[in-house]
Amino acid sequence: MALGSAVGSRDETPTWLAWTRVGLGVLLIGFGVRLWLTRKSKTSTPSWMQTIESATPRKGLRLGFLLSAANPKIVVLAAAAGVAIGTEDVAMDQTVVAVALFTLVASCTVALPLVLYLCLGERMLAPLRSAKDWLTTHNAAVMSVVITLIGTYLLVAGIGQL
């Protein structure tokens, strides 16, 4: 957001930022398409998913941090959101609301299953197991669609600024 604020304080978006968005968009689209085309070959469960099954709370916290902070896809997505929020010329309270909404949406995939389990207990285990199995089976397809959509957004935004 700091980079976005510095860039957003100018009257005009710098050309290098537009080209950076175009480049990132093209890279993400290419990666998403490649992931889509090779999705059938990715049938084994990723090792990090296997680790979750037997994780203690401490190990789960460490794994969660590594999966979010050290994952290049998440870093790029969070940076893109920060730049998008930071470049908007809005009041501080609106920026706080935007950050809160981004955080809520970004964390809902983690928080929602936990909240449902805390509220509904054992009744949630079967649907959660079913969702885990579906996501494990279709992980590459889901990721390819998400990455391609974000890449398309960055590409269109970058082209619009040129």
Looking at this protein, which amino acid is placed at residue 17? L
In 3D space, the residue among 5, 14, 10, 18 whose CA is nearest the CA of residue 157 turns out to be 18
pLDDT for residue 7: 58
> Residue 94 — pLDDT band, cuts 50, 70, 90?
confident
Angle, CA 16 vertex, CA 92 and CA 14 arms, to 5°: 50
pLDDT per residue over 4-53, tens digit each?
655 555 556 678 888 888 998 999 899 999 999 988 876 666 676 677 77
What is the distance of C-alpha 101 from the center of its chain? 14
Question: What is the chain's mean pLDDT, rounded?
Answer: 81
What span, in angstroms and rounded, lies between the C-alpha atoms of 76 and 15?
20
What span, in angstroms and rounded, lies between the C-alpha atoms of 25 and 32?
10
Domain boundaries, the chain: 2-8+15-161
pLDDT for residue 40: 81
In the predicted structure, residue 150 carries a pLDDT above the cut 70: yes
pLDDT for residue 34: 93
Per DSSP, 135 falls in state H
Range from 34-43, 95-104, 120-129 carrying the lowest mean pLDDT: 34-43
- Looking at per-residue pLDDT, the higher value among 120 and 55 belongs to 120
pLDDT for residue 76: 73
Residues 6+ positions from 141 with CB-CB distance below 8 Å: 36, 39
In the predicted structure, residue 119 carries a pLDDT above the cut 70: yes
Looking at this protein, which amino acid is placed at residue 22? V
State the pTM of this model: 0.63
What span, in angstroms and rounded, lies between the C-alpha atoms of 18 and 33?
22
> Residue 159 — pLDDT band, cuts 50, 70, 90?
very high
- Looking at per-residue pLDDT, the higher value among 89 and 36 belongs to 36
